[in-house]
Structures are given as C-alpha cells and as structure tokens.
Structure 1
Amino acid sequence: MSADTAIRLQPHEIALLRGGPRAAVTVAVMGLHLRGAVEAGRPRTMRASEAVTADAVPGQSPSPLPPLENAVRASLHEPCGLRTLVKRSDVRLAVALMRIPLAEAGLLRWPLLGPTRAARRHVRALREAHALPAGRHGLTDHDKLLAVALHGEAALRVLVPRFALRAGLIQRAEVAGKGLLRHSPRGGDAPFHGRSWYSCGSSGGGSD
C-alpha cells in the first residue's frame, strides 16, 4: 500500500492509525478551531464557541461536521482538557465507530484494534510525501489537518502554537533547564543568565 492508493483516509482517521484516540481527537479539535467552533478556555482547557463557522455561507446552513468533530463539540459545552475530552462517552463512541471501517479495510487488527503493518506502511508513506510544514501560510485547512494528523505536536507548534498551548494540546517548551518557564515572571521576559529559552508561541509568526 502506498500514499497513492485508492484508500482515501480523512485526517482524523490517519491520526487514529498513527497515534490512537488522543491523536484523532486532537485533529478533531483542530478542525473545529479552524472553523471557529472551538476556542481555548481556562488554562489548559478548551470550550465550544458560538462563533459562526468559517465555511458557513450567508443564507445557507453550514456544512455538517464529521461525526467525531460533532461529538467533540457537543462534549465541550463546558471547558475541559484533552485527557478528559478523550474519555467522554460520546467521543469514545465516535472513535469506536471510526474503527469499524478501518478494521474492515484491513488497517486495524481484531480484536485489539491496533494498526496493521499495512496501516503503518501507509502512514509512513504519507509522512514521507507530506513533510512537516515550515509555516502555516499558503496551507489550506485540509493541509493543516493532515499535517497535525501525520506530525502531531510538532505540527501544532508550527500551525497554531498559541491556541495549542492555551488549550493544553502541547506542553510548554523548556530549553534552558527544567522549571525555567514555571518560575519566570508573569507578564514579562525571564531574566537572562547566560542561557537561552523560547516559548512555543514564537514559531510560525502572526496570531493563530
């Protein structure tokens, strides 16, 4: 199986094969964020937004959400973190239903539903065909979702660093030593003592 086969997987399905339910739910959250339907809530949480979705056309109903995104948005009526979100019953059901056609296609093993060799080869071929982007400019929403599906946190740091950090999808990067950012002053730069550090919001340029 190669990246050019007739099997056309959606980004959240690719993420499930690569990294399991957490990766699939992360892609669903990203998709909702790109539509304007999910925003960061309290620190390390996310919540559903009442904003009009990005693909809505005036006078027409917005396109229906994929089942996993629909379950994720419904589960975010109250802010929660990613770990809690993955365990919500509606989200777990949506992930379980995703697995059925993947297993029937020979991409998941019964009964444990881990990825098969064919699935791993397919994901590996896709990663080789779609390298981690250097920035988000010029990418379609599908390109961004595919990047997150294939490259996980590395893609989130490039594409939506501020949202991903505030929503708890990634950890704050620490370069200059354990605990440096935790003890740095709020609202200002940490003092420089011969060591360098950065926050993941510095990549990609511009706002999320």
Structure 2
Amino acid sequence: MHGPASPGWLLVVLCAATGTYCLLRMRSRVEEQRRSAGGEALMGFGMAVMAVPATAFAPPVWAWPGYAAVFGAAGLRALWAARRGPHHLHHLMGTTAMVYMAVVMSAAPGGHRHGATGVPPLTGVLLLYFAGYVLLSGARLVPVTATGAAGAAVAGGTGVAGGGAPRWGDRPELARACRLAMGIGMVAMLLGL
C-alpha cells in the first residue's frame, strides 16, 4: 500500500470520492440503499486513509489496531446483516480485507511483506475474490436496452414506478459503479501489500 506517491494519491482520491458519493446515497428514500451506503462510505473513507502514501503521513502505532477494531466491528455488523441478503457478504469480505491489511501493516509498517516466499495465502484469496468481483461488477455495468434498464430500475428497488426517473442517489448503476471503484481500489491495495 505504501508504494510510489502518485498512484497512492490517485487511490486516495478515488476512495475518498467514492466514500463521499456513498454518504450522499445515505439520503435515499429507499431503506436498503441507505443501509448499504453507510457501510460503503465507511469502506471508502477507510481505504482512502489507509492508502495515504507513507512519505506524506506515517500513522501512529495505535492507528492499525484501531483500524482492525473499527473494521472488525463493521464486519460483525455485516455478518449480522447477511441474513437479509447476499450483498452484505461482500461487505463482510471488504471488512475482512481491511482488518487483514491493518494487521499486516501493524506488523510491518514499512509495507512489503512478500519477500522470497511469494504472496501469502490470505492475500491471494482476497486478491482472487476482489478481482472476480471487479470483473463481475464491470460486466453488470454493460448497457442494456432501454426497456431492460427501466425494468431493472423498478425491480432493483428504487421505489420508482410508472416511468419516472429515479433520483440520482437511487440509481442502481451508480451504486454499482461505486462498488466497482472500491473493488478496484481494494485490488490495488492488496497488490501493494
């Protein structure tokens, strides 16, 4: 995560922008949108702070256990919420990755953990999951016909019926783009671990 400064700052901007959009989505009229947007905002801002290049800011030693505690609590919440739908399992994977990265960073704040032994197994599993998630999310963003898109918006729970356009915070394709951006950010952070 603490590689060259320019890609690190780009990752910070991507994650902070995603977190900001997710905060705005919390104003949605749709209850499920608000619930998931809160967890996604936490992930976006947490990833942004974690991605700050070490040359700009070296977190105090207590920061990494604090990260692990915050994201561990968010993971327990996601585990509890998983009984409502499979989307929360993705939140659980995200919080697990954040806890894992915090633990790794607390053990070696300078970054690189691979060495001659290769990629640690848990890093590899998380990389495979998030790379697959990015590919699947990207495929879901492929445009569909106008009739299919309108039907998907109503079926997606936006609360819009009768042909009215959903509010920008309730648009499912924007929520998917937000999740895609965070997935890409997670892959980049895990690759730099």
Do Structure 1 and Structure 2 share a fold, with TM-score over 0.5? no
Instruction: State the TM bucket, normalised to the shorter chain.
Output: 0.3 to 0.5
Higher relative helix content: 2
TM-score by length of structure 1 reads 0.31
RCO comparison, higher one (Cα < 8 Å, 6+) = 2
